[in-house]
A and B are shown apart, each in its own frame.
Chain A
């Protein structure tokens, strides 16, 4: 700003009036007197000068009020006062100039114009264009479970006209009002997802939106990624936007277990698995039975009940008659846990009012090699039970056509004479676990099941485990057909071919022979397969250290190592591979002297 050594106003000039460091402004008044200063030019310090004869009206640009004099004080008022600019540099009213006494009080002074400066401002305007690309949400934190999030881009072009007063070069600008116009753009958007973690993926690039998918995070570290969107605006300018992505860490960790074998493709520990089929109606509740539901074998084990399809807690769908709350705060989202407690109780599943095909599961372990801190790493599992829950109407539909000579299940069984045998259909047909339904439109459990041997009804047979009966012993070779029917539907037919016990066995070995020797077998027939369990990589101990292939056994493997809870021996629902019962730690309940068929020790 230039000093006002030679000030000349023109009609309509907009000026800033400055005394020393202080600008004269409309708001710098106390009780109507100009008493304090403003150190920076602003709209309120701009005055519009209007020619009135040899003088001028000085009107504030912002308020429209006038600069006036009252005695020795300057005032701002609504009444115009004519001020005069002489050839010198004084802004005067009559013979008086104005000045400031450094104390913030404005006063009139004949020669006060020496410290006066007047800056002229001119009005100007500019136009700016802003391009914006924004993703919504701007950031996302995925839970540790598998999930997805759609991101929506918004592209806008904002054109803004800025109005201002400016003085000098470089200019001192005083901003006035701005006017903006915003237009939403619809140009294509491309995406890039960058992360060192392969669990994130980008899919569904539909309607300019992007979906980021996160697989389940099974590690204790959180994962991060950046989603970058790029769009070329109509004027050719390329604009990008980013969204920060994180995924929470896992608090429940699967591990390979003592076998060292790979995890399942779904990230779970691989283990022997029993698959149970459970037929249910919508809106009903059913028990999911454990393989060892009663007795001592179920105690002191680790249990985890969960939704097999999500590997997470099933919520209220699974209920228990005892408490499952181990580390609930840390790992409750992964299922219902009990560890080395007592009775696991009875677990039930409740189907919603609309049927949904589900798979529930329980992992069971008698091992102690878990790690519990803020997170929980599971122990080596003994076995897993997967309950494949199907719609009862499927069973009812299948049974609906089973009449006359058609049976839902057909069995041909070779059995030794003189022996008590057990026969039964695939599933339980009575009690809590009854899996047989009729009436597909509104399934109901079968009632009044009836067994026959040939055409003879077997009256009130003893039913074992709601599934098996033991028909009268047959002592001579013959074929007997047993049938199970209910509700005029044929459930199962058993064609039992009784053969002489001496020819089919089981026959005790005497002098190296029972029914036929291996040499005789090799001579008469062609060997296509054999299983002798004679592994050579098991060391010298009595027990083989590795489980059989996972899909070949449904029982739990006893690793015979220190990971066993309470150093337990092979228990109910478990197996091992051993050389001899002689001297083994189960001699209390096993006959000794039974050795590997090929010889032992």
Chain B
């Protein structure tokens, strides 16, 4: 069961005219090209008359103009008097929108019957799969030897780190097993808590080094360029503590 106990559901006594019933904002940030998953529950409540028939339309709003992206239709409801679940996925197009909306449209042909309830609408995106490798035990590693690699994969590499082949910036942070931020920004020697590296799709290692300086670029990044994966190499050093580490990518512009 979803939602909070003793909460509410959205009950609609539909009008005769097929039209938009609700236009709910999807507050989460969605990246272009992302696959999103919708789960929602609907109950056809009318004891007689026409059955509910609903469209769930995903749209993006940009500059005040709402554009349709994709739609799921329940068709004429076959389950009555009980909750039934809808679950569908769609891949967002390559456009970036200011906000996204889930529009619920009454497709019913008559106001007779056509009473329905909606609840527990959830919107998900794929989790970036991560992989970790331990190259060598940290306690025995020599300085500058790779001890571990974390890799985050995205569903759609074209949009995971670059939009329209423009320059993208990633922010990253080192943490120990307790979530404490470590100042180990080996890639760019920054002293702030968050590291930063700018990557331009299609640039060679040499071009990146010329643009940002050699300290930003390691040959290991060659594994990253043109692929869907993000590698982070953890080097041993005098400040590297024993134990586990976590690495977080905080998004791309």
Of the four ranges (under 10, 10 to 19, 20 to 34, 35 or more), the interface on chain A belongs to: 35 or more
User: Which of B9, B48, B49 is in CB contact (< 8 Å) with A578?
Assistant: B9
B48 cross-chain contacts in A, Cβ below 8 A = 589
**Secondary structure type dominating chain B contacts:** strand
Check if A555 is an interface residue, CB within 8 A of chain B: yes
Check if A416 is an interface residue, CB within 8 A of chain B: yes
Check if A326 is an interface residue, CB within 8 A of chain B: no
CB–CB A597/B21 < 8 A: no
Assuming the contacts A529-B28, A598-B6, asked whether A421 and B75 have C-beta atoms less than 8 A apart, the reply is yes
CB–CB A503/B9 < 8 A: no
Check if B29 is an interface residue, CB within 8 A of chain A: yes
CB–CB A415/B72 < 8 A: yes
Binary per-residue interface labels of chain B (13-24) against chain A in the complex, 1 for a CB within 8 Å, 0 otherwise: 111111111111
Kindly specify which of B85-93, B193-201, B213-221 makes contact with the partner chain: B85-93
B7 cross-chain contacts in A, Cβ below 8 A = 532-536, 579, 596-600
Check if A411 is an interface residue, CB within 8 A of chain B: yes
CB–CB A420/B2 < 8 A: no
Check if B77 is an interface residue, CB within 8 A of chain A: yes
CB–CB B85/A554 < 8 A: no
Q: Mark out the residues of chain A between 575 and 591 whose CB falls within 8 Å of any chain B CB in the assembled complex.
A: 575-579, 581, 588-591
User: Which of B8, B12, B24, B86 is in CB contact (< 8 Å) with A506?
Assistant: B86
With CB as the reference atom, state the residue of chain B lying closest to A410.
B68
Tell me the complex Cα distance, A468–B25, Å.
26
CB–CB B83/A508 < 8 A: yes
Tell me the complex Cα distance, A341–B171, Å.
64
CB–CB B109/A464 < 8 A: yes
User: Which of A508, A515, A579, A589 is in CB contact (< 8 Å) with B47?
Assistant: A589
Tell me the complex Cα distance, A590–B46, Å.
5
**Secondary structure type dominating chain A contacts:** loop
User: Which of A295, A528, A594 is in CB contact (< 8 Å) with B28?
Assistant: A528
Tell me the complex Cα distance, A535–B23, Å.
18
Q: Mark out the residues of chain A between 501 and 559 whose CB falls within 8 Å of any chain B CB in the assembled complex.
A: 503-509, 512, 514-516, 518, 521, 524-536, 538, 543-544, 548-549, 551-555
Check if B187 is an interface residue, CB within 8 A of chain A: no
Check if A467 is an interface residue, CB within 8 A of chain B: yes
Check if A255 is an interface residue, CB within 8 A of chain B: no
CB–CB A291/B19 < 8 A: yes
CB–CB A526/B126 < 8 A: yes
Shortest distance from the beta carbon of B39 to any chain A beta carbon, whole Å: 6
CB–CB A504/B87 < 8 A: yes
Binary per-residue interface labels of chain A (409-440) against chain B in the complex, 1 for a CB within 8 Å, 0 otherwise: 01111111001111110000000000000000
Binary per-residue interface labels of chain B (21-36) against chain A in the complex, 1 for a CB within 8 Å, 0 otherwise: 1111111111000001
CB–CB B22/A548 < 8 A: yes
CB–CB B42/A506 < 8 A: yes
Shortest distance from the beta carbon of B245 to any chain A beta carbon, whole Å: 22
Tell me the complex Cα distance, A303–B218, Å.
71
Shortest distance from the beta carbon of B20 to any chain A beta carbon, whole Å: 5
Q: Mark out the residues of chain B between 150 and 183 whose CB falls within 8 Å of any chain A CB in the assembled complex.
A: none
CB–CB A419/B74 < 8 A: yes
CB–CB A594/B120 < 8 A: no
CB–CB B123/A529 < 8 A: yes
User: Which of B46, B87, B112 is in CB contact (< 8 Å) with A505?
Assistant: B87
B45 cross-chain contacts in A, Cβ below 8 A = 581, 590-591, 594
CB–CB B26/A508 < 8 A: no
Of the four ranges (under 10, 10 to 19, 20 to 34, 35 or more), the interface on chain B belongs to: 35 or more
CB–CB B85/A570 < 8 A: no
Tell me the complex Cα distance, A471–B29, Å.
36
A424 cross-chain contacts in B, Cβ below 8 A = 18
Shortest distance from the beta carbon of B24 to any chain A beta carbon, whole Å: 5
CB–CB B27/A529 < 8 A: yes
Shortest distance from the beta carbon of B237 to any chain A beta carbon, whole Å: 33
Check if B140 is an interface residue, CB within 8 A of chain A: no
With CB as the reference atom, state the residue of chain A lying closest to B26.
A529
CB–CB B1/A508 < 8 A: no
CB–CB A574/B43 < 8 A: no
B18 cross-chain contacts in A, Cβ below 8 A = 422, 424, 464-465, 467-468
B146 cross-chain contacts in A, Cβ below 8 A = none
With CB as the reference atom, state the residue of chain B lying closest to A276.
B19
A504 cross-chain contacts in B, Cβ below 8 A = 72, 86-88
With CB as the reference atom, state the residue of chain A lying closest to B122.
A530
A475 cross-chain contacts in B, Cβ below 8 A = none
Max count, chain A CB within 10 A of own CB: residue among B5, B6, B121, B127:
B6
CB–CB B71/A574 < 8 A: no
CB–CB A533/B82 < 8 A: no
With CB as the reference atom, state the residue of chain A lying closest to B85.
A514
A574 cross-chain contacts in B, Cβ below 8 A = 12-13
User: Which of A543, A553, A579 is in CB contact (< 8 Å) with B21?
Assistant: A553
B119 cross-chain contacts in A, Cβ below 8 A = 532-533, 596-597
Max count, chain B CB within 10 A of own CB: residue among A297, A416, A538:
A416
CB–CB A516/B90 < 8 A: no
A590 cross-chain contacts in B, Cβ below 8 A = 45-47, 115
B87 cross-chain contacts in A, Cβ below 8 A = 503-505, 514-516
Tell me the complex Cα distance, A595–B73, Å.
23
CB–CB B8/A538 < 8 A: yes
Q: Mark out the residues of chain B between 76 and 125 whose CB falls within 8 Å of any chain A CB in the assembled complex.
A: 76-88, 90, 107, 109, 111-112, 115, 117, 119-125
Q: Which 5 interchain pairs have the tightest Cβ spacing?
A: A534-B7, A528-B28, A598-B3, A419-B75, A591-B81
Interface residues of A (CB under 8 A from B): 274, 289, 291-295, 297, 410-416, 419-424, 464-465, 467-468, 499, 503-509, 512, 514-516, 518, 521, 524-536, 538, 543-544, 548-549, 551-555, 570-579, 581, 588-591, 593-601
Can you name 5 A-B residue pairings with CB atoms under 8 Å?
A: A291-B15, A419-B75, A518-B1, A534-B4, A596-B8
Interface residues of B (CB under 8 A from A): 1-30, 36-37, 39, 41-43, 45-49, 53, 55, 68, 70-88, 90, 107, 109, 111-112, 115, 117, 119-127
